[in-house]
Amino acid sequence: MAKRIATSSVNWAALAERVPPEQRGNLTSFKTRSDSYLRRVMANPPEPPKINWAHYKQIVPIPGMVDTFQKQYEALKIPYPSDTQTAQVEAQWKEIKQQIESYVQASNANIAKYQKEISETKALLPYDQMTMEDYRDAYPEQALDPINRPTFWPHTPEDQPENFKADPNAASAH
């Protein structure tokens, strides 16, 4: 026979911490239903009541009928379902744990990179106190460089001459 569960194995306090506030009512309702089901199960005895076969043999007039019922009743075995899913769940949990750990490592690397960028930005002069030379020193790839990389106003990449393609029909028009 299967073992009798005496108490709920659900940690309701830990579960309540993870439930969003808008779902707390549903969790409370579910916990109430679960507790009432557990109380109903616990109200019944763990074993079915014993049948007094001798009493029925005296009362039932048909000979052998009670013996037949007794044999059939005692031969009846209701199997307790076997656990076939725990191994799969554990395997999935191991995979998920590895994914979580790799995500945490990647996130920590990103956090370290962004912390470094924040500290570099905090180390800069405030923009309202920065001169064009200070800006060029801080951001050489973005600063205007009229000697090495001359540009035309409005100094945006799409407005520079190298981005304009020569029109092949313009030469043949003359």
Residue 5: what are its φ and ψ, rounded to 5°? -90, 120
Give the 3-state secondary structure percentages of the chain, helix then strand then coil, rounded to 5.
60, 0, 35
Q: Is residue 134 part of a domain?
A: yes
What local confidence, expressed as pLDDT, does residue 48 receive?
Answer: 80
- Distance of alpha carbon 62 from alpha carbon 139, whole angstroms: 105
Q: Is residue 59 part of a domain?
A: no
Q: Show the tokens assigned to 44.
A: 């019944």
pLDDT at 174 over 50: no
- Give the structural domain span for 108: 100-160
- AA letter at 80: Y
What local confidence, expressed as pLDDT, does residue 111 receive?
Answer: 97
Collect all residues with Cβ–Cβ distance below 8 Å to 145 and sequence separation of at least 6. Answer: 136
For residue 98, give the 3-state DSSP assignment: helix
Query: pLDDT of 62-104, one tens digit each?
Result: 888 999 999 998 898 888 888 889 999 999 999 999 999 999 9
- Distance of alpha carbon 120 from alpha carbon 115, whole angstroms: 9
With beta carbons less than 8 A apart as the criterion, state whether 3 and 83 touch.
no
Q: Is residue 119 part of a domain?
A: yes
* Other CB atoms within 10 A of residue 143 CB: 14
Tally of domains in the chain:
1
Residues 52-59: what's their mean pLDDT?
Answer: 91
Q: Is residue 126 part of a domain?
A: yes
What local confidence, expressed as pLDDT, does residue 49 receive?
Answer: 83
Query: pLDDT of 90-100, one tens digit each?
Result: 999 999 999 99
What local confidence, expressed as pLDDT, does residue 171 receive?
Answer: 53
Instruction: Specify burial of residue 23 (Cβ count, 10 A radius: 0-12, 13-18, 19+).
Output: exposed
Q: State the chain's mean pLDDT as an integer.
A: 86
Residues 55-61: what's their mean pLDDT?
Answer: 90
What local confidence, expressed as pLDDT, does residue 38 receive?
Answer: 87
Residue 149 β-bridge partners:
145
Query: pLDDT of 104-127, one tens digit each?
Result: 999 999 999 999 999 988 988 888
Q: Is residue 108 part of a domain?
A: yes
Q: Is residue 5 part of a domain?
A: no
What local confidence, expressed as pLDDT, does residue 81 receive?
Answer: 83
Q: How confident is the model at residue 25 (pLDDT cuts 50, 70, 90)?
A: very high
Q: Is residue 81 part of a domain?
A: no
Q: Is residue 111 part of a domain?
A: yes
